[in-house]
């Protein structure tokens, strides 16, 4: 009967709160929104505790009032009736006190559970913040790794391109060989140019000598022709 006349433990969390609740508990309980109708219903339940009362059963406060009135009425009769009413009132008071203690214990347990939830929530929030920080660091590391990979791919492409050409030492050796050959060809070219210039001068001298010889021959021919003409004239005479 005691369990039927009083509300169960799950109806007790909204009954009362400690005088100095912790900030975490206040923060969590402040987030609960209760409509005015629900708040009025909760107050009524707290005052009358008729939540789980049997149909037709009186609330504990009303039962206490009836017991007290019965005790006051039995004082005029006296005798065993007074003792019986007294025992009934004391029994009802003990039951009511037991119910209040049980509700207080349930309320304390619920408050401790709320505080535990608040601590767990704080830990979860901290873990979320830490996870966000880790995610940010991982993003930075990922971007750095991507850039490094891109640089390596570019370096590899340049390396493969450089592998298609001979080494620097080989190229310098070839250049030195070509420079030597070019110097040799330039020397030969200068020698050929000098020889050609000499041949030109010799040819010019030859032409000059040939011209002089032609001139001398022409003069000799003229002299010979004149002598022949004179001889012919003499013979004709």
Angstrom distance (rounded) from CA 48 to CA 6: 9
Q: Write out 23-80 in H/E/C secondary structure.
A: HHHHHHHHCCCCCHHHHHHHHHHHHHCCCCCCCCCCCHHHHHHHHHHHHHHHHHHCCH
Please indicate, yes or no, whether the overall pTM of this predicted structure exceeds 0.75: no
Return phi, psi of residue 54, to 5°. Answer: -65, 155
* Cα separation values, 226 from 6, 134, 221, 235, Å: 179, 129, 8, 14
- In this prediction, residue 34 carries a pLDDT of 63
- In this prediction, residue 119 carries a pLDDT of 93
Which class for 60: exposed (0-12), middle (13-18), buried (19 or more C-beta within 10 A)? buried
List, as one string, the DSSP characters of 1-30. -HHHHS--GGG-TTT---SS--HHHHHHHH
Residues 85 and 71 sit within 8 Å (Cβ to Cβ): yes
- In this prediction, residue 162 carries a pLDDT of 83
**pLDDT of the chain, 237 residues: tens digit per residue:** 333 333 333 343 333 333 444 444 344 444 456 678 877 776 676 555 544 455 566 677 777 788 888 888 878 777 787 888 888 888 888 888 888 888 889 888 999 999 999 999 999 999 999 999 999 999 999 999 999 999 999 999 998 888 888 888 888 899 999 999 999 999 999 999 999 999 999 999 999 899 888 888 888 777 776 666 666 766 666
Residues 107 and 115 sit within 8 Å (Cβ to Cβ): no
């Amino acid at each position: 009967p005691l369990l039927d006349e009083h509300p169960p433990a799950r109806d007790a969390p909204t009954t009362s709160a400690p005088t100095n609740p912790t900030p975490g508990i206040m923060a969590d309980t402040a987030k609960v929104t209760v409509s005015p109708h629900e708040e009025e219903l909760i107050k009524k339940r707290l005052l009358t505790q008729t939540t789980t009362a049997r149909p037709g059963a009186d609330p504990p406060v009303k039962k206490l009032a009836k017991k007290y009135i019965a005790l006051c009425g039995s004082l005029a009769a006296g005798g065993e009736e007074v003792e019986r009413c007294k025992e009934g009132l004391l029994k009802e008071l003990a039951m009511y006190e037991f119910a209040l203690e049980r509700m207080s214990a349930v309320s304390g347990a619920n408050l401790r559970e709320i505080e535990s939830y608040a601590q767990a929530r704080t830990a979860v929030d901290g873990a979320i913040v830490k996870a966000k920080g880790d995610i940010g660091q991982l993003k930075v590391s990922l971007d750095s790794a991507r850039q490094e990979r891109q640089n390596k791919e570019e370096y590899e492409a340049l390396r493969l391109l450089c592998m298609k050409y001979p080494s620097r030492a080989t190229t310098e050796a070839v250049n030195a060989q070509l420079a030597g050959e070019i110097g040799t060809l330039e020397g030969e070219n200068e020698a050929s140019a000098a020889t050609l210039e000499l041949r030109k001068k010799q040819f010019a001298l030859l032409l000059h000598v040939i011209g002089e010889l032609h001139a001398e021959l022409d003069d000799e021919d003229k002299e010979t022709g004149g002598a022949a003409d004179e001889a012919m004239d003499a013979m004709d005479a």
